[in-house]
Structure 1
């Protein structure tokens, strides 16, 4: 969602959530589910101190495609938010953020396990959620093979309760 298209206040986010929720209800009747994929802006406080994500998800039929790395990039605590939104997660994104000032050629993203997102704490929370898919991603890898190999090793270790 482009910055100029984003609601600027709680009422705007609530209205967007209601429109999406109405669509989600119609899709649910056809056996489909609708999930919102977040970025950083849903976890940046509005002028009244509230978070857009809280207003957006008021409709019970709207699910969440939760990307913890974008939550981290917003400066919010991904562990807090994954816990809080756990019952709404349909899809999880497994992505990592490089330490500030590094990986500039990759827009500050890192291979999973090579960055600062607390995956050891997050993985079990996602596994306890209703998430049906975990999508491993990197928005701008300079080497796709390296990204895939390192991230796969880290996810195997996370699934075993270890670290790579």
Structure 2
């Protein structure tokens, strides 16, 4: 093809592309939304025995860009992969891992900083931004004093992580919302932790505990940088379902995402009535439409 013809074809193609943006403005939004969607890999825990790479490949195929790991140990890494091997696998499928859940029960009991050091090393290898406390002894939330004592421990850990360029976050279930006087244990925890500590708000558990999520956003502006987005089955509230198929009005929350400080939303589903890979595709598409 002659150069002059090539140039005319190029200009015409650029013009058509520009026109398509005007006709279909949502295409650009959809691409941006895909970059903002993650999944907590605990959702697919039953699939890992069939091969870690297969799970990661399916997650990428489903439209996610981030993954949140879980279950790390110095001995077994992530499902038998070292942090370096896991990072290489994520790179292969164009995924990143901004955060992971790391077990803190032993650290909470002993204060052994060697545990933190191991987590820091893994997180830095994966280029993560957050180390997340996924679960802790529920008895801690039985009194104001024990909640404050736990907050002090988290503050110390946060200072250690900050020196390494990392942030600490805490993930809730429902037991943190126990009423202790005129506040819930969760509110006491948020109020007694350093502003540098963020919270991964599990929306399902907060709603199940009958909390006013929007009030939390307004009261503790900017503290909820991470969300777990999983829907509540309309018939059995103890079960999860695909985002948009249950009883939780996520749009009311996403409208106030900026107020909450949201940076990383993660789909999570702990049980499935359909093929899990089909399920996570459905949730990804629906969350992309409202985030």
Change (3 A) 1:84 1:113: farther
Aligned counterparts, 1:62-73, within 5 A: 62-73=197-208
Deviation at 1:129, TM superposition (A): 3.5
Question: Are 1:54 and 2:204 matched, yes or no?
Answer: no
- TM-score normalised by the chain length of structure 1: 0.82
Question: Are 1:26 and 2:160 matched, yes or no?
Answer: yes
Match for residue 91 of structure 1 among 226, 230, 235: 226
Q: Unpaired segments of 5 or more residues in structure 1?
A: 160-164
Matched residues, number: 153
Structure 1 runs (4+) deviating above 6 angstroms are none
Change (3 A) 1:76 1:7: closer
- TM-score normalised by the chain length of structure 2: 0.49
Match for residue 139 of structure 1 among 236, 253, 270: 270
Q: Secondary structure at the match of 2:273?
A: coil
Deviation at 1:114, TM superposition (A): 1.0
Q: Secondary structure at the match of 1:147?
A: helix
Q: Secondary structure at the match of 2:220?
A: helix
Question: Are 1:157 and 2:289 matched, yes or no?
Answer: yes
Question: Are 1:81 and 2:222 matched, yes or no?
Answer: no
Change (3 A) 1:93 1:85: farther
Deviation at 1:108, TM superposition (A): 1.4
RMSD: 1.9
Deviation at 1:122, TM superposition (A): 0.5
